[in-house]
Structure formats: C-alpha cells, structure tokens
Amino acid sequence: MDLSKHAFFEGKIVPLADAKINIAVHGFLYGTTVFSGMRAYWNEDKKRLFVFRPYEHFHRLLNSARMMAMEIPYDEEGLIWLTLDLLRTDDWKEDIYLRPTIYKADMGIGVRLHNLRDEFSMFVTAFDKYLANDSNAHLTFSSWRRIDDNVIPARGKVSGSYANSALIKTDANRAGFDEAIVLDQNGHISEGSAMNIFMMRDGILVTPPPTDNILEGITRRSVMELARNELGIQVVERSIDRTEAFIAEEIFMTGTAAQIVAATKVDFRPVGKGVMGPITTKLRALFDDVVRAKIPKYEQWNVEVK
C-alpha cells in the first residue's frame, strides 16, 4: 500500500515513521479505539482533490467517541481543517483513503473507559478498489452474527468490534465468496463485513433500518438521497428476511472503501438476471460523478483541498 509520507499524530503533523504507538497503549490492548474511513477523490478536469462528506464522517467519529467515553479537543470543523492541512503536506493527486482514529492513549493494564487520556491521529493511503469483483460479486450468508448494540455499539465504529468483521470476511473469502451478508441476533439481514446492503424488491429500494445493528453508513445515506431525488425511486428502511435475498431483483452493497458493489449471486443463486441491474448501474455512475465533484447540486458534499 502506498501510505502517506506524513501523519497527524497526537497534536501535530509528523513523518509517518514517527507516528508510533507503544505496545502498552490501552487502545491497542483492548480495542478501545474508534475510527472512520473517508475518501478523497481526484478530479482530473479541475485538477483538484475533494474530500467526500468529511463533516458527516467526523460527526460519526465524534459520536463513536461519545459512546466510548472519549474526549478530544476538536469539533467537526477543527478536524476538517487539520485534514486539509495533512493533505496539503503530501500534495496528493490521486484517489486516497483517510483513516482518523481516536484512542485510549494511556499505557498499562486495566480494562475500562474512564480516567484515561484520549488522543487523535490520522494517516492516509492511496486507494483504488476495495473489492476486485465490484460489478459481479458473489455473496454468501455468514455463519457469524453481527455484533448487537447491547454487546458493542454497532452504530459506533469501534476497532474491537472489527474482529467480528474480520471473522466474517475471512470465512467468506476462504470459501470462495467475495463478501458475506450478516444476520443480526434476530435473524434479519444486517449488512456486510464493512458495507451496508440494499435490495430492489418490486421496484422499491429496501435497506435495513439503523435499529437492525447496522453501521449508519455515509455512503448508505448518500445513495438513499440519490435514489430518491435523482432516480425517483421509493426507498424504504425495514427489516429484511434472509430469503428475500434470493428473490430480490437487484442487490448492492455500499461503503466508503467498497463504494457501490453489485452482487450478482447469493449462495449460487443468481440475483435477478444474474448480471448487474439497471438501478445499480445508474447509481454507480451517478455516485462516481458526485464524489468527484462533477455535479453542482451535490457540491456541498465535496470539500476541496486548497
């Protein structure tokens, strides 16, 4: 991976090689770290880099921190400023991915959240596709269950809970699938290992509600708005049963890293006609234009690096 030369580390921009965390740090020992994953896209016509919805990403990050009893001396705007500073330092001219983290930074043994120092850090990496087969992914149902809100906040992006995502992803990949659909404790479809899920059923776009243990995805929210406003499609948030995946007309998954992934098979059954469907095709094209700041109506989602 093509990592950034610099990182923002505990209060200042430093060479990435100096952004080091001790092995005795709480966030490393206990997974008491929260994070976000943002993208910035290069617009070749404008010769500019645009960060996609950083306010929403930092808002969710600060909410995750709140759930984990963390405090840092920045608000959303402050975090956007230091992001722009960091991106200017390395002068990126390609699509990139940013990984901000807030973590319990004190050293030593003792599992808890209180009376511990919190720190913020961020690094950047060049980033292309997350899933190679993003136009014809084969999904399976994971035998793992999605973490429940009463176990670890599912709507928070807590590092420790990504052990669940890693178990899901590795088992799916080793069994020959591209990604997995994960059910929650009630047996409803929740999401993927690190992406939200949508399906077209009888011409309506359906996605699980925030109360079915999903991460409240920013791509999910953007796609819902684009589907409603630009394609005139009805979008419904409701619980989804497992077998609905076998009779959906289209299925796709969304995430910052994944973008919009078309699923064309679920456990060897073709989704719809077994090829990427028309709604997924339109949304993917529209989304790519929106994230690259090519559509004036949505330019408030793009923060220019200048």
**Residue numbers annotated as active site:** 157
Strand, coil or helix: 58: helix
The span from the CA of 148 to the CA of 109, in Å, is 26
Phi, psi of 95, rounded to the nearest 5 degrees: -70, 135
- The H or E element containing residue 42 is strand 38-43
Number of residues that bind ligand PMP (CB under 6 A): 14
Nearer to ligand PMP, 64 or 121 (CB): 64
Q: Find, among 144, 172, 177, 159, the residue nearest to 269 by Cα.
A: 177
254 is an interface residue for ligand PMP by CB under 6 A:
yes
In the list 191, 213, 266, 277, the residue contacting ligand PMP (rule: CB under 6 A) is 191
Which residues inside 195-224 make contact with ligand PMP, applying CB under 6 A? 195-196, 215, 217-220
Cα dist. 285→135, 243, 290 in Å?
12, 29, 9
Q: What would the x/- binding string for ligand PMP be over residues 151 to 180, using CB under 6 A?
A: --------------x---------------
Smallest gap from residue 247 Cβ to ligand PMP (A)? 24
The span from the CA of 281 to the CA of 249, in Å, is 13
Cα dist. 66→30, 116, 146 in Å?
17, 14, 22
98 is an interface residue for ligand PMP by CB under 6 A:
no
Nearer to ligand PMP, 248 or 253 (CB): 253
Nearer to ligand PMP, 116 or 205 (CB): 205
101 is an interface residue for ligand PMP by CB under 6 A:
no
The span from the CA of 50 to the CA of 58, in Å, is 16
The span from the CA of 173 to the CA of 167, in Å, is 10
In the list 4, 159, 213, 256, the residue contacting ligand PMP (rule: CB under 6 A) is 256
In the list 194, 224, 271, 303, the residue contacting ligand PMP (rule: CB under 6 A) is 194
Q: What would the x/- binding string for ligand PMP be over residues 17 to 56, using CB under 6 A?
A: --------------------x-------------------
Nearer to ligand PMP, 197 or 279 (CB): 197
Cα dihedral 98, 142, 219, 95 sign: positive
Tokens representing 59? Answer: 């808002």
Q: Return the range that interacts with ligand PMP (CB under 6 A); candidates 104-112, 118-126, 237-245, 249-257.
A: 249-257
Pairing of strands 250-255, 196-201: antiparallel
Residues near ligand PMP (CB under 6 A) are 37, 165, 191, 194-196, 215, 217-220, 254-256
